[in-house]
Amino acid sequence: MTTKKKGAPALPLNTILAGDCIEAMNALPEASVDLIFADPPYNLQLRGDLHRPDNSRVDAVDDEWDRFSSFSAYDDFTRAWLKAARRLLKPNGAIWVIGSYHNIFRVGAALQDQGFWILNDVVWRKSNPMPNFRGKRLTNAHETMIWAGKDESSKYTFNYEALKALNEGIQMRSDWVLPICTGHERLKDESGDKAHPTQKPESLLHRILIGSTNVGDVVLDPFFGTGTTGAVAKMLGRDFIGIEREETYREVAEKRIAMVRRLDKEALQTTTSKRAEPRVPFGQLVERGMLRPGESLYSMNNRHKAKVRADGTLIGDDVKGSIHQVGAALEGAPSCNGWTYWCFKKDGKRVPIDLLRQQIRAEMSN
């Protein structure tokens, strides 16, 4: 399915593009994607994957030189695909990259050097990692993800309330405990072997997409593999674009995603924040007669009092101004949310004025 968005060139939405991810990305229109999720290769032996600049062959390479040249080649590759990825992002777009200690430090430094602004590094703590059989190191029980905005000023998407709800009402932390991909979720080929060596669990993508995209957003994955990103995106009502070089992976991914059903509207609804709700000027409460000019408001802690004026400002002892300004001044605080700070009296009881705002908002949504 290819969809045309207002005025912009066509985006190959919900398809898997074949070929090299850098070329494929450069063929897409710039500033057209909301989120990029990338699980790049990190095996330094796969030089063919790395677009290594054609170094002259030196026979007697010692280990250190060889190591340096492979890091250097990996850096070239990383910077090339990150540059192409950044071009595709909308100004308020963001990127997630996952990796291990073999490559993540190089990826992180490259992100910073290219102007991406790191928002968090997130640790995927595997609940069932492979043990270190030889007992020579610690069990490698986690992978690292970097979440970064396109630049410092990007107004990135962050569904704080939805993630908080996912975490039983407590703010989501930067360490996520999730099992690795096994059992029925792990895709197999005809001979029963795993179809892809590093298939990521859907739970990981679920949390990423819930937290940093909205329904209808476009999510691009330049190292699509067997399509976990696409499967979760489709389920969650996001559009995806996948890029994958290997035909076998593309085939597995196509079949997999075809089986996925988009959740219905109700299931897709997530907890929203107060910030997303329409603004209500305090003056409207006066205009509508919900509060009378001259009426007294009382502070939450009952220590202060102020009078409502006809223009929607307050006047207290030696202070006048907005509900927020007067609250802050009386408390000697740098700021104050007047809506939750002030109460009015109703039948002798103190009621937060925020209740009146909620009434107005309820009427607006009808």
Partner DNA sequence: ACGAGATATGAATCTACTA
Partner DNA sequence: GTAGTAGATTCATATCTCG
The contact set with its own copies (CB under 8 A) reads 49, 51, 55, 57, 63-64, 67-68, 71, 100-102, 104-109, 111-113, 115, 118-123, 125, 127-129, 131-132, 135-142, 144, 146-147, 151-152, 158, 160, 163, 168, 171-175, 177, 179, 211, 273, 331-336
Q: Which does 279 bind (CB under 5 to 8 A by kind): its own copies, DNA, none?
A: DNA
Q: State the number of CA atoms in the 13 A half-sphere of 112 facing the CB.
A: 10
Sign of torsion, CA 210 211 216 218?
negative
CB of 142 to its own copies, least distance (A): 5
Sign of torsion, CA 221 225 230 232?
negative
Nearer Cβ to DNA, position 11 or 344? 344
CB of 257 to DNA, least distance (A): 20
Q: Which does 39 bind (CB under 5 to 8 A by kind): DNA, its own copies, none?
A: DNA
Nearer Cβ to its own copies, position 211 or 338? 211
CB of 32 to its own copies, least distance (A): 22
Distance CA 172, CA 211 (A): 10
Give the amino acid at 315. Answer: I
Q: Which does 177 bind (CB under 5 to 8 A by kind): its own copies, DNA, none?
A: its own copies
Nearer Cβ to DNA, position 6 or 274? 274
Nearer Cβ to DNA, position 262 or 309? 309
Nearer Cβ to DNA, position 56 or 365? 56
Instruction: Please provide residue 226's backbone torsions phi and psi, each rounded to the nearest 5 degrees.
Output: -90, 15
Beta bridge partners of 122: 145
Q: Which does 366 bind (CB under 5 to 8 A by kind): its own copies, DNA, none?
A: none
Sign of torsion, CA 15 20 21 25?
negative
Length in residues, the chain? 366
Would you state the structure tokens that stand for residue 358, as one six-digit string?
């909620």
Beta bridge partners of 192: none
Distance CA 303, CA 75 (A): 61
